[in-house]
Structure 1
Amino acid sequence: MTTIPFNRNIVFSVMLAIIAVAIIYRITPPYVSGVFDLVISKNRITITDIHQPRDIEMTKTVKVDRIDLADKSRFRHPKLGDIGYAGDFWVDINAPFTVKKAGDYVFYLGSDDGFIFSIDGQQLCEWTHDRPLTVNACQIRLMEGEHKFKLVYFQGYGNAGLTMGYSYGNNGVQYIAGENSRYISF
């Protein structure tokens, strides 16, 4: 039977390897598959209404896998962390989706603060001013095939959040936008 000698050089080499792996893990940025492009624009002045004119200071685009951005009462992705600004910013999302089964759909828009939601150019619902995180149900009949939604959101001050879900008819099963189902794919 052959035994491996156990000395300080082996221990030191193993410790260096563990430290190297930990450093690489720590410096590797988080990643999610980019299903939605969020155009996030910092406004120069306070935003109090979804219809007010914009006065953009800077803009960035962030790719996210789902619209579930209300973590810890912040505009925050569970994996990517904070992706907005401290306050007074707009988010614009224009995204295609495919309806696999024609019928009545309900889209659930949760926002803290305001939003406008449209599908194929038809506005379904909006909330124009500040509010705590609240969900609106927006109904529409959709045919099979390609569609496009537009979601405009603003964050004024304080807590923030944006969520979007959907369900088919009255079956009671809700999916998060970005989550494919037998009804819709993104």
Structure 2
Amino acid sequence: MKVVAFERSVQGTGASRRLRNAGKTPGIIYGGSAEPKLIELDHNALFHALKKEAFHSSILDMEVAGKAEKVLLRDFQMHPFKPMVLHIDFQRVDANAKIHVKVPLHFLNTETAPGVKVGHGIVNHIANELEVSCLPADLPEFIEVDLGALELGQSLHLSDLKLPKGVSAVQHGGEENPAIVSISLPAGEKSAEADAGAAEGDKPAE
């Protein structure tokens, strides 16, 4: 994805407020061997770009003053109640250095999974994204999670995912092989079954 930005020479609360009033969003590009660069972007174009999944997990082509560089979206701040982007941060990407990025998970065959189609269970998304480590050229836009064989009461774990070549999962403590998605009965049906079981147990012996 291509992003066009402009160099920003002024900074501070007042200057940022004037930019926002003019339909611009202040931002910064940092990282790599170059100095941090203050930038400004068209707010409306940025607001719509932030709605696209790929904008959050892809290497972006950032053009500033006619020069292009590869960057990643690292952070952005929204107004507490207005649909307004207050500030945005991008990090430069080195083609030869591994990056850590959170990549969205795309769940396939949720409707045809045996646990849903036959077992009438519901899919529980325990994780919706996965942090990975890879070279920029190997960064996937998303990772597929196939539920095609998942039965009622079963879970898919991190080790079950097929990661693209050159991509590895990043874990920060916790479980060694955490669950990603599961299929279970809805809570109401569980309690109904429990009540039925209790009722059976309350019947007097013949």
Q: Tell me whether the two structures share a fold, i.e. TM-score over 0.5.
A: no
Q: Whose helix fraction is larger, Structure 1's or Structure 2's?
A: 2
Q: Whose strand fraction is larger, Structure 1's or Structure 2's?
A: 1
TM-score, with length taken from structure 2: 0.21
TM-score, with length taken from structure 1: 0.22
Larger RCO (alpha carbons 8 Å, 6+ apart): 1
